[in-house]
Amino acid sequence: MPAHRPFLSIAALTIGFAIASPADALAQSTPQVLGLVASNGIPTPLTCTDDECSAHLSAFCLQQAREAPASGTAYAPAEGGRVTLVATTADGRTLRLPGQPHLAFESRIGFTSVRVSLPRRTLAALGATEAAVEIGARVSLLPTAVARDPDPQTAQEIALATGPMRDAASRMFEAPGAASDAARIASLLINTLPQDPRDDGVHEGLWRAAAAHPVVTRATPEGVATARRLYDSCSLAVRSGSIFTMRSCLEIRHADLMATTNHAFWDSMGGS
């Protein structure tokens, strides 16, 4: 196992979100294996533009000793977990398909979030008008291999990350709790907002619109309260002009929440 390298701070994560690119990652070693937070029976809808459909997913680091990924680093699901594409056809039928052949995954803000996407042409080829993604238990993501990697992932590293470490992470990231529930709610709010910042004024009624969603109604009171504080702080930041859009604020606050939880996870595993 490589020597320990500490997690990036949230400031470093957000800087990476703003300026890093996949091309930057080519000069580095292969980054961390990530875990995806399970859907717990509530698929995440994909929002479609002209070319593709996409969504924000909560993620976490499974390898403390490796570097966080640059924004836009490509990932693919590892064996041992199930990602399902749930497509709705024009005549109302529901198709449940393996996600691997159709969906693409890339890091969003460090190890804390992932963008999943589906080409619009694939949706049309399936005869579908809407799509969602369902993340099963124990889903891990492997980074795409880097050419001339000076420190490639070994089979032993991958087995440890996607096996014992992924199982242990489920107890902190997927069980009910203040941080885990708040992260789920934050991701729901992010996916509800339009990606075009010119239409971001809809955030005023965002919390009321989300209140009846199962992600909120099934959450613990502590999780809902934590998410509400996060939402209120972002709403204030947007109104005061200290941040440009509600979506970008929520993504950064979500990243902060996930990074803090990840630190606690590694502390519980004996990390430093």
Residues 101-159: tens digit of each pLDDT: 999 999 999 999 999 999 999 999 999 999 999 999 999 999 998 788 888 999 999 99
Average pLDDT of the chain is 87
Q: Hey, how many other C-beta atoms are within 10 angstroms of the C-beta on 240? A: 8
The side-by-side arrangement of strands in the sheet containing 83-89 is 44-45, 128-135, 83-89, 94-98
Rounded (5°) CA angle 264-270-272: 70
CA 33 distance to own-chain centroid: 13
Rg of the chain (C-alpha set): 18
Indicate the pTM of the whole model.
Answer: 0.87
Q: Is 33 exposed, middle or buried (0-12, 13-18, 19+ CB in 10 A)?
A: buried
| pLDDT tens digits, 222-247 | 999 999 999 999 999 988 888 878 89
- Judged against a pLDDT cut of 80, whether residue 205 lies above it is answered with yes
Strand partners, 116: 55, 105
Residue 43 sits at φ, ψ, to 5 deg, of -60, 150
Predicted pLDDT of residue 64:
93
Classify each residue of 81-115 as buried b or exposed e, where b means 16 or more C-beta atoms within 10 Å of its C-beta.
Answer: bebbbbbbeeeeeeeeeebeebbebbbbbbbbbbb
d(CA 68, CA 31) in angstroms, rounded, equals: 6
| pLDDT tens digits, 162-171 | 999 999 999 9
Residue pair 37/135 in contact by the 8 Å Cβ criterion: yes
Question: Of the given ranges (15-29, 67-81, 96-110, 149-163), which has the lowest mean pLDDT?
Answer: 15-29
